[in-house]
Amino acid sequence: MANLLTIGISAASTFQKAIEVTGNNTANVSTPGYNRQRAEIISNSAGLVGNAYTGGGSTVESVQRIYASYIQTQLVSANSLKSRYDEQLSLAQQVEGVVASNDGSIQNFMQNLFDSFQNLANNPTDTSSRQQVIDQSNNLQTMVGNLSGVLKDTQKQVNDQISGLTTEINNRLDTIYQINKQVSVAQSSGAQSPNELLDQRDQAILELSKYMDIKTYTQSDGEMVVYTGNGKYPLVTSNTVNHLQASSSEFTDEGRTEVYMDVSGQKTMVSSQIKSGQLGAVLDFRSNMLDKTVNDLGVMLNGLVAGVNWQHYQGYDENGDAGGNVYTPLNLTADKSVKNVGTEDGSNIVVSFKPAIAGNQPPYTPATQPATYTAKQTDLATANAAIGNLQPKDYIVKVNSGGNFEVYDRNNPTTVLGTVAFGSSGQVDGWNFDFSSVAAGTVQAGDKFLIQPNQGMLDNFKTEISDPNKLATRGQSPDPADVAPTAAAIGDNTNIANLASLSDKKLLFNDASGNPAQTLLGGYSLMSTHVGAYVQATQTQSVAQTNVYKQISDRRESMSGVSLDEEAANLIKFQQAYQASAQIIQASRTLFDTLIGAIR
């Protein structure tokens, strides 16, 4: 009877615990990251009664999480990629809406400008046609300014997002670290696995993966170590939390926020190490779409300015003066690194672009015209080739150990593109780098400077000419190879016709033979195509990764999620078992009472 009572009590206790587990599962059916739990019931040791072993009832050995670590790892990775492409697509579509607009793109305004050149070529003495050229040039300036403003706003938005996402990441890292400590204490006490804490930590890891790609490892003490996605930098260890830092790049005037970490006591930029999650999306968008769009636009505008100005130099205006600048040529100073030892602030490092052609170069006034003029119209081909050298890049200028200036592509800081001696100037990628104004002793080996010629043109694109009579529509007469050139007769349209024909001339991106491969309008089309391709590829990835995430999430839910139908069935089963246990206890009591009654 005592054994029967013990069995009944153990059964009641067991199924009470099983009902509690079932109730806990039901209560957490909507809790994010909750893994279904199961009471593991085992038999108690049998006891020897006479010559036979009889059972000892049951007990709950443990409460197990229904959990698969490999599915959780897949879910974290899929969540990171899904978040990356969703965010990337949102950002990319903003730029696409401006750059690829059918009605208001720079391409259309450029076409309007060339159409106005052609209209003036058809009516070279018409005052309204001259004014139309000025108006269209100003319209283009306005459009470029508007686009520059939108892209500047997008750059600021990117900076703000980097700062905000870094804060979110650091909050999650703190949470993971704190849960780690609680898990460690719980497991060191010898108690059963702290299931709720493990669920909370996994959920914090999943939330962290929304913002950046990570790798995790669980240690023997139960604590989880978190690394950046490439496994290079630890974020959470047993003893520390390594926070990300969002701060300005070393070129502070640039207005660019980067991501840093403290690595062995050194502030180290890790932007390039973050490949996924929302932060990875923002960084990828900036590098591969926003920066590229700005640089592509800058090359096209620098090409337009140089090409139009050079051709305009070849003609004469209504006053008989040689043509001057239609647009302001690039003339940009450098931005110094905050790490520089020297005192040069970058203002004496000048980058410009104005095609250099052998011989005498316009513009000239009649008073300054040379006796012998050796630059022919055919020299425009040489100017075109110079324009074709321009590249969509930002540049780092570094002072080497010999005190000379090495020029690098910012995205490839290990390959020297060109070296310019101290106190001189030289060309790299078509740009003229002028160091002649840098004073001796103001730069030191290792000093760095940033040059952004394409961003500079986009920000400072400006029409110089405002007087319609200053438009150099007339050509030269006679042949400038033989005598000093003079203006052709009023009504001549040679030069304005040549300006109109620039729309069909290849000026950009020299091929392997050194010949320009793209027209100005074609260059814009290439840029628009790149933007569209980036958006399309990102959209495709977004759809694909959303599907992958859903599949893995569904798999996790089927394995570890709470099924109310299953819990309801378990509840009925455990209730019935509990009631039966009570009957066993009652039977034991009845037998005991009967025995006592017989003794009396």
Digit-coded pLDDT (tens) for 59-102: 888 899 998 999 999 999 999 999 999 999 999 999 998 887 65
Residue finishing a domain among 277, 306, 322? 277
Residues in the chain: 600
Same-domain status, 100 and 179: no
Same-domain status, 37 and 105: no
Encoding tokens for residue 459?
């920000």
Same-domain status, 478 and 516: yes
Between CA 476 and CA 377 the distance in angstroms is 10
Question: Does residue 73 form part of some domain?
Answer: no
Q: Given pLDDT bands bounded at 50, 70 and 90, which one contains residue 316? A: very high
The residue segments making up the domain with residue 371 are: 80-161+282-543
Q: Given pLDDT bands bounded at 50, 70 and 90, which one contains residue 594? A: confident
Residue finishing a domain among 212, 246, 277? 277
Q: Is the pLDDT of residue 579 over 80?
A: yes
pTM tops 0.85: yes
Helices (H) and strands (E) in the chain, counts: 12, 23
Question: Does residue 154 form part of some domain?
Answer: yes
Residue pointed to by tokens 């529509």: 473
Sign of the CA dihedral with 199 first, then 204, 209, and 215 last: negative
Q: Given pLDDT bands bounded at 50, 70 and 90, which one contains residue 274? A: very high
pLDDT score, position 376: 46
Question: Does residue 548 form part of some domain?
Answer: no
Same-domain status, 500 and 392: yes
458 DSSP 8-state letter: H
Question: Does residue 411 form part of some domain?
Answer: yes
Smallest CA-to-CA distance from 431 within 389, 374, 377, 368 is with 389
% pLDDT > 70, the chain: 90
Question: Does residue 480 form part of some domain?
Answer: yes
Same-domain status, 112 and 259: no
Cis preceding linkage at 478, omega within 30: yes
Same-domain status, 173 and 240: yes
Q: Is the pLDDT of residue 366 over 60?
A: no
Same-domain status, 484 and 362: yes
Question: Does residue 72 form part of some domain?
Answer: no
Question: Does residue 174 form part of some domain?
Answer: yes
Those residues with Cβ within 8 angstroms of residue 119's Cβ, 6 or more apart along the chain or in another chain: 129, 132
Between CA 118 and CA 576 the distance in angstroms is 94
Between CA 497 and CA 119 the distance in angstroms is 9
Same-domain status, 148 and 252: no
Cis preceding linkage at 362, omega within 30: no
CA distances from 193 to 86, 219, 515, 559 (A): 36, 14, 71, 19
Same-domain status, 352 and 406: yes
Same-domain status, 411 and 302: yes
Residue finishing a domain among 243, 261, 277? 277
Between CA 123 and CA 125 the distance in angstroms is 6
Encoding tokens for residue 281?
């999306």
Sign of the CA dihedral with 225 first, then 227, 231, and 232 last: negative
Between CA 229 and CA 232 the distance in angstroms is 8
Residue pointed to by tokens 């990319």: 92
As for how many domains the chain has, the answer is 3
Same-domain status, 496 and 579: no
E strands present in 300-374: 331-333, 335-336, 350-352
241 DSSP 8-state letter: B
Question: Does residue 551 form part of some domain?
Answer: no
% pLDDT > 90, the chain: 69
DSSP bridge pairs for 41: 60
Same-domain status, 485 and 578: no
Between CA 169 and CA 210 the distance in angstroms is 9
Q: DSSP of 489-526, one letter per residue?
A: PTT--HHHHHHHHGGGSEEEEE-TTS-EEEEHHHHHHH
Smallest CA-to-CA distance from 41 within 67, 68, 12, 5 is with 12
